[in-house]
Structure 1
Amino acid sequence: MTSRGGAKTGGGRHDGAARGAVRWHPFAGLTRHNALREVMAGITLLAIAVPLNIGYAQIAGLPPTAGLYALIVPVVLYALLVSSRQLVASPDAAAAALVASSVGGLAIAGSADYVAMAMAQAILSGLFFIAASVFRLGYLASFLSTPILIGFVGGLALDILVSQVAKMLGVKIDSGGSFTEKIFDLISGLGTASLAATGISVVGVAVLLIGRRLARAVPWALIVLVGATVLVASTGLADAGVAVLGPVEAGLPAPRWPMLDLATWIALVPTALALTLVTTAEGLLVARAYAEKQGVEHRPDQDLFAFGIANIASGASGSFAVGSSTSRTAAMDQAGSRTQLPTIVMAAGVLLLLLFGTALLEDIPMPAIGAVVAVAIVPLLGLPEFGSLWRRDRFEFVIGAVCFIVTLFVGAISGIFVSFVLALINVARRAARPAVDILIDDGAEGSTQRAPFAPTVQSAPGILLVRVAGPLFFANSAVVVDNLKRLVTTRAQPVRWLILDLEAISDIDITAADALSALRDWLAERDVQFRCSRGHGRVVDRMRRWGVLDGDAVYPTNRAALAAAREE
C-alpha cells in the first residue's frame, strides 16, 4: 500500500491534471526509441514483484501462488483501464496484513475456507471500487489525511515486521494472533532461534541495504533470494532446520468463484470496505502526483474503475486484494518508464514462471523472504514522518499516534473507524474556529491593522472592517459572533461601523444566519451600523432571505463600504 514519500490523496474530476495535459491510452508515448527501456523496466519490475508478492502472500496466510496470480490477469486488466501512465497495481504489505488480521479471525490460515474468504474479500472490494467510480466518490479519499495514513500504515507495518523478524530468526509464532501475542511468542521463543536462519537473514539485510545505496536499479531482492536458495540447496541447510518455501503449484490461474454462505460474505464487507478506502486514498494520491509530474491528465473515477476490475479479477482467479504500490511505481519512474508496458512485460514473465519455473521457487529459504519483506516494510513504519508531524503540528501528531496504537493493538478495522472519526474531529476542530482577520481598524490612533491587500484609505475613526476566513455554520457561528463582539467592545474608541467582508465565506446555514441576526440586533442596541461587502451571490441571497441583511446594502468592494461609512 504505501511506502512513504508521497502526499496523500485527492479526488474529483480531472484532479491533478496539469494545465494543457492530453488524454492518453496505456501505451501512448511508446516509440521504437524507448521500447527497449520500457521492456527493461518491465524485467526490473518482474524481479522486484515476484519475491515481494511471495512474501506478501505469506503475510496474508495464503499460498505463494496467490501472490503470483495477482500479477497476471488483474494487473493486465488494470494496465489497460487505468488513466495513470505509471501507477503499478499489486497486492502490498498493508493489504496483506489487513487480510491476515480480518480473515484470520474467521478461518485457519492456509485452509480452503481461508483462501475462499480472501478471494471474496477482493471481489467485494472490487465492487466497492466500481460503485465509487460510478458515483464519482473519489473525493472521499480526502478524509484519510496524511497523519491518519501514517498512523494506520505504520501500525500494520509494525505488526508485519514482528512476523518477519520471527521468520528471519527461525522462531515459530502464531501469525494469526494479536500483536501482543506475537511479541510474547517471539520473546519466549528466542531460545529456539536458528543460527543458520539468523545468518542468512543478516547477510540478506546487509546486501539489500548496501546494494540499494550503491545501485538502486539492480534487483537486489532477487539477488538475495537466488543467492540464499543456492546456498541452502547446495549445503543441505534445509535438512538442518532452515525452513524453505516448499512446493509451489504450477500452472495458470483458473477462473473460480469463492463458494461461501451469505453470512460469511456479509461478515467480510467491513474489511473489504477498509481495503477500498485505504487503496483509494493512496492510489489516487500517487496517481495524481505522477500525473502532475509528467503533465498528463489524471481521471480518478477511471482509476477507481480500474482498481475495481482488477480486484474482481484477482478474487476470481485465486488471489487477494490488489492495491497501488508506491515503491514499485517509484522504481518504474526511476527506471525511466512512462507507459504501462512494464506491467504487461511483468505479467508475461510471471506467466512463464508459473508454467515452467515453479521448481525454482521451492528451495527459497523463509529467512531470506523475511529479510526481503522486512526491508521493504521498515519505511512504512513512518518514523521520519512522525518526527515531522511532532515538529510541525502536535495535534496532527496525536491523530497519527492514536491511529497507530489502535491499529496495532485493537485491529485494522478499528483503526480505519478511528481514523475516520479523528478525521471528522479534525475537520470540525478547524472549521469551528475560523480566523477573523482585521482588515481595517481605525478605532484608535496607532492601532490600525491592514491585510496586504486592504485598500489604503484616509483615517476613518470608528470603522472596523473584518473578514471571516471560512464558511459559517452551526459549529462555528457562536465562536465567530463572540469574536466580533469582543473586537467591537475592546476598541480604544467606540466602533460606529462594523463591516463584514464576505469574500471568504463560501456558505452559510440557518444557525449561522440566526447568530448574525442576533449580532446585528446587539450592534444596533449600541448604535453600531452592520454592513457587508464583497459577498457571493448564494451567500448574499441566503442572508437576505433569512433576514440577516434585511435590505441593508452589500457593497461590491471594501473601498465602497469604507467610503459610505466616511460619508455617514
Structure 2
Amino acid sequence: MQRPLAGLTRGNLVQELVAGVTLLAIAIPLNIGYAQIAGLPPTAGLYALVLPAIVYALTVSSRQLVASPDAAAAALVASSIGGLAVAGSAEYSTLAFAQAIIIGIMFILLSVFKLGFLANFLSKPILVGFVGGLALDIMVSQIAKMLGVHINSGGEFVEKVGDLLSGLGTANVYSMLIAAGSVAVLLGGRKLLAAVPWALVVLVVSTVVVVLTNAQAAGVNVLGEVPAGPPQLSWPVLDWSMWIALIPAAAALTMVTTAEGLLVSRSYGEKRDYETNPNRDLFAFGVGNIAAGASASFTLGSSTSRTAAMDQAGSRTQLPTLVMAAGTLLLLVFGTALLADIPSPAIGAVVGVAIIPLLGIKEFRELWRQDRFEFIIGAVCFLTTLLVGSIIGILVAFVLALVNLAKRASNPAIDVLKASGEPGESLLEDASAGSMTTPGVLVIRLAAPLFFANGDVFVQAARRAVLAADPDKVDHLVIDMEAVTDIDVTGAESFTALQNWLAGQDVELSFSRVRPEARERLTLLGLLDKQRVFPTNRSAIAALSTSAAVSGPANEEG
C-alpha cells in the first residue's frame, strides 16, 4: 500500500509548501462562493477544507488530485434539497450534511465491491451536457449577484431567468462596478501572471474598497458575519423518510464524481509516472464525504481546476492539501472577522469566471465536428438538466448512454476472411465481397460479442455473404470466433436460426478459433451438439475445402 504523502522528499518540501499556500488562496474564495450556491452558510465551504481534506489526502492513492466541493456539486445539492427544506434554514443544512454522509457510504460501497466501472456509462458527451446545464443554472445566480438583483436562488432555471430579467430595473450601479472590475482583473490577470491567486486579490481589494467607501450603505450586499471557531463533530439527525429522499441525488453526485475523479486521477498518474488505485481513490472520497457530513460541511468531489493549478505549481504530493487545511483552520479560529465585508458582487465574479469552462462551449463545438449523434446526446442532457432538473438529467444521461452503447454494439464489424486470415471487404458495406478464396468454404469473422443487439445483424450479413458467393458452390460456412468473447441467449437463438437456414441451403456450419469462455457458453447453450470446432491453425481453414475433419485445442497457435 502506498504511504501517505508519497513523493515528498527534502528536495521538494519547500516547493510543496509554497503550492499549499497557493491552494489556500484559491480555495477560500471559491468555497465561500460554492457554499452560497448550495444554499449553505460560508462556514460549510470553509469546513470542507479542514477535516474532510485531511482525511482524503491521507487515504487517496493519487498524489495530486484535489478534493473539494465544486460548482456542479453545489448546484446539485441546492436543486435536490431545495424542494425538501428552505435554503438557509437549520433543517436545510442538516439535509446537506446527511447527503454528504450518504454519498460517502456509496463511495465506500463502490470501492469495496469494485463497482467504479459503473461510472463509465457517463461518457464525455453526457458529462459535458450534465455539468454544462448545472453551470449555466449557476451562472444566472452569479450574474444576479454581480448586478445586485435579488432572485429566488432555489427556483428552477426559467424562474431564475424571469426574476433576473424583471429585476434589471433594480440593479445596483456600485455592485455592477465592483463586479466589472473584478471580472477584468480575473481575466486580465490570468493572462499576465497566471501564478498569482487573482481570486484572493479580487476579494481583498474589493473588501478594502467597500470598507473605505461605505458601499454597503449604497446597497452593495456583503458576506456578513462568519462564526469563528473550528468545525465541531456532529451527526445529522433526520427521520428515515428524509434519509431515503436524499438517496437519488446522492447517487447522481456519486456517479458524476466517480467518473470525473477517476479520470483525472488516472490522467495525472500517467502524466507524472506514478501508479493510482481506483478503488482506493473511491474509498478516499467515501471517508472524506463522511467526514464532511460529520463536520457541518457538504459534498466534496474532485476539483479539476485546482488539480491543474497544483500541477502547474510543480506539486507532486498531497502536502498542499494539508497546508490548505492548516491555513483554513487558522482563519476560522482567528480571522473570520476579515470575511464579513467581502462584497457579494466580487464573490459572484470569482465563481462566475471559475465556472465559465464548465459551460462546455469548446467541448460542444468539438462534439459537433467529431460526432453529431454524440453532440445530440450532450445537448439533450444539457437541456434536460437545465429545464427539467438535475435528477431527471442524470437519469436521462444513463438512458442515453445505454442507447449510444446499443447503437454502436448493433453495428459490429463483420468480415469475410481470406484463407490466410486477412480481412476482406466488410459485409456491411458490400455483401458481394463474400466471394470465396478457398473452394467450397466461406469464413466469416464477427469482431464483437454476440448478443441481442447484433444477433439479427450478424445472421443477415452471413446470409447475404452465402447468397453472394452462390450457395450451390458453398459447402462450409466457418465462423471465426477469435473476437467473440461472449454469447447471450438471444445471440444463441440467432446462431440456431442461421444453422437452420444453412441446412436448407446444404451448407454446414462450423466454428474456428473459439475462446475457452466462448466454448463454455456454446456448450451451455447447446450450439456445439452438431457443429465442429476447428483449431487456430489457419492452414486448417484452407483444408476445409477437402472437408477434412480437423481436431485440436480451441486456442492452439498455428
- Asked whether the two chains share a fold, i.e. TM above 0.5, the reply is yes
Partner of 1:556: 535
Partner of 2:486: 507
Partner of 2:346: 368
**1:299-314 residue pairs with structure 2 within 5 A?**
299-314=277-292
Q: 1:466 aligns with which of 407, 427, 444?
A: 444
Partner of 2:271: 293
Query: May I ask how many residue pairs the two structures share in their alignment?
Result: 536
Runs of 5+ consecutive residues of structure 1 not aligned to the other structure: 1-22, 452-457
Residues 279 and 364 of structure 1: CA distance in aligned 2, closer, same or farther (over 3 Å)? same
Partner of 2:554: none
- For residues 270-300 of structure 1, what are the alpha-carbon distances to aligned partners after superposition, in whole Å with 9 as ceiling and x for unaligned? 1111111111111111111111112222111
Residues 550 and 180 of structure 1: CA distance in aligned 2, closer, same or farther (over 3 Å)? same
Partner of 1:384: 362
What SS class does the counterpart of residue 43 from structure 2 fall into? helix
Partner of 1:322: 300
- Given that 1:26 and 1:341 are in contact with CA atoms closer than 8 Å, whether structure 2 keeps it comes out as no
- Given that 2:152 and 2:160 are in contact with CA atoms closer than 8 Å, whether structure 1 keeps it comes out as yes
Deviation at 1:461, TM superposition (A): 3.9
The CA distance in 2 between the partners of 1:356 and 1:330, in whole Å, is 30
The CA distance in 2 between the partners of 1:200 and 1:39, in whole Å, is 32
The CA distance in 2 between the partners of 1:305 and 1:544, in whole Å, is 40
Residues 548 and 507 of structure 1: CA distance in aligned 2, closer, same or farther (over 3 Å)? same
Runs of 5+ consecutive residues of structure 2 not aligned to the other structure: 428-435, 548-558
- For residues 296-343 of structure 1, what are the alpha-carbon distances to aligned partners after superposition, in whole Å with 9 as ceiling and x for unaligned? 221111111111111111111111111110110111111111110000
Partner of 1:147: 125
The CA distance in 1 between the partners of 2:128 and 2:332, in whole Å, is 36
Deviation at 1:462, TM superposition (A): 4.4
Asked whether 1:271 is paired with 2:244, we answer: no
The CA distance in 2 between the partners of 1:109 and 1:371, in whole Å, is 22
Partner of 1:259: 237
The CA distance in 2 between the partners of 1:173 and 1:35, in whole Å, is 47
Deviation at 1:155, TM superposition (A): 0.4
Partner of 1:434: 412
Partner of 1:532: 511
> Which letter does structure 2 place at the counterpart of 1:372?
V
The CA distance in 2 between the partners of 1:344 and 1:208, in whole Å, is 26
Moved more, 516-525 or 549-558: 549-558
**1:243-258 residue pairs with structure 2 within 5 A?**
243-258=221-236
Partner of 1:17: none
What SS class does the counterpart of residue 418 from structure 2 fall into? strand
Partner of 2:177: 199
Deviation at 1:525, TM superposition (A): 1.9
- For residues 215-234 of structure 1, what are the alpha-carbon distances to aligned partners after superposition, in whole Å with 9 as ceiling and x for unaligned? 22110111111111111111
Identity of aligned residues (%): 63
Q: 1:478 aligns with which of 453, 456, 468?
A: 456
Normalised TM-score (structure 1): 0.91
- Given that 1:26 and 1:339 are in contact with CA atoms closer than 8 Å, whether structure 2 keeps it comes out as no
- Given that 1:204 and 1:372 are in contact with CA atoms closer than 8 Å, whether structure 2 keeps it comes out as yes
- Given that 1:228 and 1:365 are in contact with CA atoms closer than 8 Å, whether structure 2 keeps it comes out as yes
Partner of 1:567: 546
Deviation at 1:478, TM superposition (A): 1.6
The CA distance in 2 between the partners of 1:157 and 1:354, in whole Å, is 29
Residues 191 and 33 of structure 1: CA distance in aligned 2, closer, same or farther (over 3 Å)? same
- For residues 137-190 of structure 1, what are the alpha-carbon distances to aligned partners after superposition, in whole Å with 9 as ceiling and x for unaligned? 111111111111111000000000000001011111000000000000111111
RMSD after superposition: 1.9
The CA distance in 1 between the partners of 2:255 and 2:437, in whole Å, is 55
The CA distance in 2 between the partners of 1:126 and 1:450, in whole Å, is 49
The CA distance in 1 between the partners of 2:259 and 2:217, in whole Å, is 45
What SS class does the counterpart of residue 238 from structure 1 fall into? helix
- For residues 374-402 of structure 1, what are the alpha-carbon distances to aligned partners after superposition, in whole Å with 9 as ceiling and x for unaligned? 00111001011111111111111111111
Partner of 1:454: none
- Given that 1:58 and 1:64 are in contact with CA atoms closer than 8 Å, whether structure 2 keeps it comes out as yes
- Given that 1:436 and 1:480 are in contact with CA atoms closer than 8 Å, whether structure 2 keeps it comes out as yes
What SS class does the counterpart of residue 530 from structure 1 fall into? strand
The CA distance in 2 between the partners of 1:272 and 1:403, in whole Å, is 18
Greater RCO, CA 8 A, separation 6+: 1
Residues 284 and 517 of structure 1: CA distance in aligned 2, closer, same or farther (over 3 Å)? same
Q: 1:67 aligns with which of 45, 62, 68?
A: 45
Partner of 1:15: none
Partner of 1:213: 191
Partner of 1:14: none
- For residues 389-422 of structure 1, what are the alpha-carbon distances to aligned partners after superposition, in whole Å with 9 as ceiling and x for unaligned? 1111111111111111111011111111111111
The CA distance in 2 between the partners of 1:547 and 1:266, in whole Å, is 45
- Given that 2:75 and 2:138 are in contact with CA atoms closer than 8 Å, whether structure 1 keeps it comes out as yes
The CA distance in 2 between the partners of 1:263 and 1:543, in whole Å, is 48
**1:320-469 residue pairs with structure 2 within 5 A?**
320-440=298-418, 449=425, 459-469=437-447
> Which letter does structure 2 place at the counterpart of 1:518?
A
The CA distance in 1 between the partners of 2:470 and 2:138, in whole Å, is 62
> Which letter does structure 2 place at the counterpart of 1:33?
G
